[in-house]
Amino acid sequence: MTPDVVAGLDDDASRVVAGEARAWFEANWNPDMSLGDWWAVLAESGWGFPTWPTHRYGRGLDPHLAPLVNGARRAAGALGPPAGIGPNLAGPTLLAHGSAGQQDRFLPGIVNGEIWCQLFSEPGSGSDLASLQTRAVRDGDQWVINGQKVWTSGAHIARYGILVARTNPELPKHQGLTYFVIDMDQPGIEVRPIREMTGRSIFNEVFLTDAVVPEENRLDEVGSGWGVALTTLANERTMLGAGSFGSSGGSMSITKPDLAGRVGDLVRESGSGEGVPSGGVGALLRGLVEQYDRSGDPLIRQEYATIYSLLEIARFTDLRVKGAVERGGRPGPEVSVGKLAASHLLRTLRETMFRICGADATLWGEDAPLGGRMHDIGFSSYLISIGGGTDQIQRNIIGERVLGLPREPSIDKGVAFSELLVGTQRKTDG
């Protein structure tokens, strides 16, 4: 962050935080450190996760100050903290619902790059997550888990998973769920990668057969899993929301980090190849316009302005979410607005990029514009509209909780889950 930016901040707290962050990164960033050592230093400083509590690897900052810290880090050329499901979903959920002992055990690994996965969706319960059928049965001081999960990002390399399972099928579907942290490295778990249209296999099917979870890994009370899951889902929608595309924050790519590698070699000064501009999607689009000399095209200029407007709307929506948290509440329907905005933004960006590139849009891999980054964005436009709750689910939430429209008719309210014909659950004779 440059001095003129700091001077332009609108309150003393912002100036102090920006100045302190800039001074720390300038004094401590060392590109010759190993990745593991850098993440350890960053975690202990509190500047890696500045909104977390001071005794939990953070600095207790208000959420609206976090972009100042990220700006100071980028100005110093420093690599960011670990990203993905661990820091963005599991960490905040543990901070909100986990015991002190659970936080002591799991947070150190998360801030130091341990990979986590999210075991929520099932073949018969995607958008209707509360109809999940994976069972957890208490057996002494542990729980025995049986069932199947799907679309589990990073399960093939994850150390731990956040898991929602049904512990009482005789209660209505939202009331009989419990939330666990499960060790993915055990004989009762089989992971089968799913090949995607990108050629990668980030998603997986996960089969749980008599897998075990110790009682000490249960989050919150038995039967309160739906409320805990809502915290995770709110953070997931924030993570996938349009506000996350406005800057070059931590990468959401799911790979196993080389903790022994030189950290300076991992700084993403360019997207995925030489000549790719740094920054968020706005910077990528600007670079593409300049590369193809389309800045004078009135249609492209109009679409560029549209995308800029969408990014600004997303930024303000993101601030509303952070404001709700800052006031002591939970993220509300704003996260659904942001998630829906992300889908619209990426679809618009995809079409604009393809239009700018013309026939070059048919190229693939490193030969493609932006070293293939353009196609990653195009494919992500489909992923974002499904993952974390489909666009249709987000519209339902906005309609009911923002516009005050009547809820969709529900015939399962108050009915025991065992009596419902949902997903793959079917009545059997006898």
Q: What is the pLDDT of residue 100?
A: 97
Q: What is the pLDDT of residue 25?
A: 97
Q: What proportion of the chain, given as a percentage, has pLDDT over 70?
A: 87
Q: Which H or E element spans position 376?
A: helix 373-384
b/e burial code for range 224-244 (CB count within 10 A of at least 16 → b): bbbbbbebbbbbbbbbbbbbb
Tell whether the torsion through CA atoms of 317, 321, 322 and 327 is positive or negative. Answer: positive
Tell me whether residue 320 is exposed, middle or buried, using C-beta atoms within 10 angstroms of its C-beta: 0 to 12, 13 to 18, 19 or more.
middle
Model confidence band, residue 272 (pLDDT cutoffs 50, 70, 90): very low
Q: What is the pLDDT of residue 426?
A: 61
248 has pLDDT over 60: no
Query: What is d(CA 37, CA 262) in angstroms, rounded to the nearest whole number?
Result: 10
Model confidence band, residue 325 (pLDDT cutoffs 50, 70, 90): low
User: Is residue 236 among the annotated active site residues?
Assistant: yes
167 has pLDDT over 90: yes
pTM of the complete model: 0.81
Tell whether the torsion through CA atoms of 341, 343, 345 and 348 is positive or negative. Answer: negative
Could you report the per-residue pLDDT of 44-95, keeping only the tens digit for each? Answer: 999 999 999 999 999 999 887 888 999 999 899 999 999 999 999 999 999 9
Q: What is the pLDDT of residue 252?
A: 44
> Is residue 111 within 8 Å of 39, Cβ to Cβ?
yes
124, HSE (Cβ side, Cα atoms, 13 Å): 13
Among 428, 90, 121, 387, which residue's Cα sits nearest to residue 232? 90
Q: Which of 236, 290, 312, 419 is catalytic?
A: 236
Query: What is d(CA 183, CA 208) in angstroms, rounded to the nearest whole number?
Result: 11
159 has pLDDT over 60: yes
Could you report the per-residue pLDDT of 17-30, keeping only the tens digit for each? Answer: 999 999 999 999 99
